[in-house]
Amino acid sequence: MTLKIVDSTGRDDLATVFVARLSDGSLIELVESVQPPVPRESKTVLIVSTLKGCPVGCPICDAGGDYRGKLTAEEILAQVEYLIRRRWPDGRCPVPKLKVQLARMGDPALNDAVLDALEELPRRLDAPGLMPSFSTVAPHGRDGFMERLADVKARLYGGGRFQMQFSVHTTDEEARRTLVPIRTWSLARMAEYGDDFFASGDRKITLNFAAVKGYPVDPEALAPLFSPERFLVKLTPINPTHASAASGLAGAIDPAAPETARRMAEGFERLGYDTIVSIGELEENDIGSNCGMYVSAMRRRASA
């Protein structure tokens, strides 16, 4: 399958967002990025879409709205192959770490074809550093998918070559319904799954909090459920998306003042959690390389 790239924006030394139009007219985003100061020759990050939009509609993410269905495995793989061959025309990606994030537009746990793509990636790519990254809100009713995901990881991506992340955002399960407006697994179910998913040599499972003012992030609420031996905590600002502005939600972490996350991080560190404060380059906000931002901007321009 050949993607039809219809627009792009960005900086080659930071992040480039591509918009592709599929055969049914749907628009999806895919991204190639680096993580300064790490050079591209050491680590490259590819971010691909798994859904045509997203049905979840989180109020801090622009990927929701105008949901048109699921991508096929070939449409997912085509995004990865396009990004690789654009940089390495012979198809061989020699970097020690090629991170393929399956979370550009859409929660990957909602699409069974993601599992088929994960099965095919090691056969399709000449990339010794391949490491998929899977981020989900843990939708209710997807237990069978998650069980197969654990099997795929164990067979194909053991020894620390898979990154698993739950997008939690708040430790208050009732409040989480506002930030993630679909039925999801409880924190206890996430912990139970993670305990079974984790194997010796794996990367720790990430509990990601895009911290929002007024929504608790309480280390003491995690400690009885999530072992620091198997889970780590990542704290991030909420992205300045059109959705977050429209919803009136404000971030608890100021990306221009990383010290605003230190007190929050110290609470987790005291309980033994490895804790990452992840603040990207501020220029990415101007590029529009946060999830769904560029496609939503294109739609607004078209309707103006």
Write the CATH number for 24.
Answer: 3.20.20.70
Q: Which amino acid is at 96?
A: P
List the beta bridge partners of residue 232: 206
Q: Report residues of the chain scoring pLDDT below 70.
A: 1-2, 280-304
pLDDT value of position 254:
84
Instruction: Identify which of 273, 304, 280, 132 has the alpha carbon closest to the alpha carbon of residue 207.
Output: 273
Which structural domain range is residue 82 located in? Answer: 4-303
What the block records as the tokens of 199 is 């194997």
As a whole number of angstroms, the distance between CA 206 and CA 203 comes to 9
Tally of structural domains, the chain: 1
The angle subtended at Cα 256 by Cα 253 and Cα 261, nearest 5°, is 30
3-state secondary structure the chain: CCCEEEEEEEECCCEEEEEEECCCCCEEEEEEECCCCCCCCCEEEEECCCEECECCCCCCCCCECCCCEECCHHHHHHHHHHHHHHHCCCCECCCCEEEEECCCCCCHHHCCHHHHHHHHHHHHCECCCEEEEEEECCECCCHHHHHHHHHHHHHHCCCCCCEEEEECCCCCHHHHHHHCCCCECCHHHHHHHHHHHCCCCCCCEEEEEECECCCCCCHHHHCCCCCCCCEEEEEECCCCCHHHHHHCCCECCCCCCHHHHHHHHHHHHHCCCCEEECCCCCHHHHHCCCCCHHHHHHHHHHHC
pLDDT value of position 241:
74
pTM, 2 dp: 0.92
